[in-house]
């Protein structure tokens, strides 16, 4: 199954959607059923060509109308596409296990609905309330996913009264990361009513004293992390886009979250969006809940 393709892992997969699609389509195998959600035309063409080369018949999955009464979280098109792909894949597996298995045309079985509604996706469009802080946590590390994250935050933020809004962001070691940040800013600006008063750029190091190795990507230059090279570039970029915001750097995720808590201690509700690197999101959840919670 191939979900929505975007510009991701460019240092490994390539710098264009066509190059990335070529590598992702490597999952296709002759003799195995294959499914894909709707793709951008450039990606769809490459996937179709790779399928033909491997003599694979690939089925394009559209949003399943049987999901209309199913609670999909987050309630966004991309997640409904993912859910539809999951339904197709699961149905295929069930037919292999039970040759007479067949899904009803108008509704999904209870087992399918329970699986879709009860699945836990930590760090994806997740909210947590801590006293007068409302945390919005969403791992988003591509241009498309950051746009979705901005739209989600804008919609959710508008439902609550916020004294201050804070952005915590990092995306370590990617050439296009500064451009991704601009996409996030534009996505937030499009919401109209939402603006960040404080912005904190941090590394993926969890704690000042010790850290979880699970949250550190060994591919990134330790000297660049220690020197906060990327974070300084983020700060310079954001200050140009929004001179009114207070922009800070933090050597650790713990320090970034502490800044939010310090603002909350001054009174009033604080909304904090933690987004970007999945390592950042995992580390933030570890700080908020304790490492053993993950």
Per the structure, the complete domain to which residue 27 belongs is given by 10-118
Assess whether 231 and 254 both reside in one domain: yes
Assess whether 31 and 89 both reside in one domain: yes
Assess whether 154 and 91 both reside in one domain: no
Assess whether 77 and 145 both reside in one domain: no
Question: Tens of pLDDT along 259-281?
Answer: 999 999 999 999 999 999 989 99
| pLDDT at res. 75 | 80
Assess whether 229 and 285 both reside in one domain: yes
Domain finish residue from 118, 149, 165: 118
| pLDDT at res. 108 | 97
Residue 169 belongs to a domain: yes
Residue 2 belongs to a domain: no
Assess whether 190 and 284 both reside in one domain: yes
Assess whether 112 and 130 both reside in one domain: no
pLDDT at 10 over 50: no
Assess whether 107 and 170 both reside in one domain: no
Domain finish residue from 55, 85, 118: 118
The pTM assigned to this predicted structure is 0.79
Assess whether 112 and 139 both reside in one domain: no
Domain finish residue from 82, 101, 118: 118
Question: Tens of pLDDT along 83-131?
Answer: 999 999 999 999 999 999 999 999 999 999 999 999 988 898 899 999 9
How many distinct structural domains can be found in the chain?
2
Residue 136 belongs to a domain: yes
| pLDDT at res. 103 | 96
- Give the Å distances, CA to CA, from 29 to 9, 213, 267: 23, 35, 58
């Amino acid at each position: 199954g191939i979900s929505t393709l975007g510009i991701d892992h460019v240092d490994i997969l390539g710098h264009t959607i066509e190059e990335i699609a070529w590598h992702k389509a490597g999952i296709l195998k002759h003799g195995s059923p294959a499914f894909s959600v709707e793709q951008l035309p450039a990606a769809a063409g490459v996937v179709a060509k790779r399928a033909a080369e491997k003599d694979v018949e690939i089925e394009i999955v559209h949003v399943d109308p049987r999901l209309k009464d199913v609670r999909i979280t987050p309630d966004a098109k991309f997640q409904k596409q993912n859910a539809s792909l999951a339904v197709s894949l699961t149905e295929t597996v069930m037919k292999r296990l039970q040759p007479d298995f067949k899904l009803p045309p108008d509704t999904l079985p209870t087992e399918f609905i329970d699986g879709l509604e009860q699945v836990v996706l930590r760090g994806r469009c997740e909210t947590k309330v801590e006293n007068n802080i409302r945390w919005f946590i969403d791992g988003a590390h591509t241009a498309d996913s950051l746009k979705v994250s901005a739209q989600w935050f804008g919609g959710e933020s508008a439902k609550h009264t916020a004294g201050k809004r804070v952005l915590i962001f990092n995306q370590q070691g990617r050439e296009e990361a500064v451009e991704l940040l601009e996409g996030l800013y534009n996505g937030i600006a499009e919401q109209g009513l939402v603006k960040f008063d404080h912005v904190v750029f941090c590394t993926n190091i969890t704690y000042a004293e010790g850290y979880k190795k699970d949250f550190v990507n060994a591919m990134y230059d330790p000297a660049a992390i220690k020197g906060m090279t990327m974070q300084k570039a983020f700060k310079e970029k954001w200050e140009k886009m929004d001179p009114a915001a207070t922009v800070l750097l933090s050597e650790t995720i713990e320090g970034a979250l502490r800044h939010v808590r310090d603002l909350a201690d001054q009174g009033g509700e604080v909304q904090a969006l933690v987004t970007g690197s999945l390592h950042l999101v995992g580390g933030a959840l570890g700080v908020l809940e304790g490492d053993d919670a993950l």
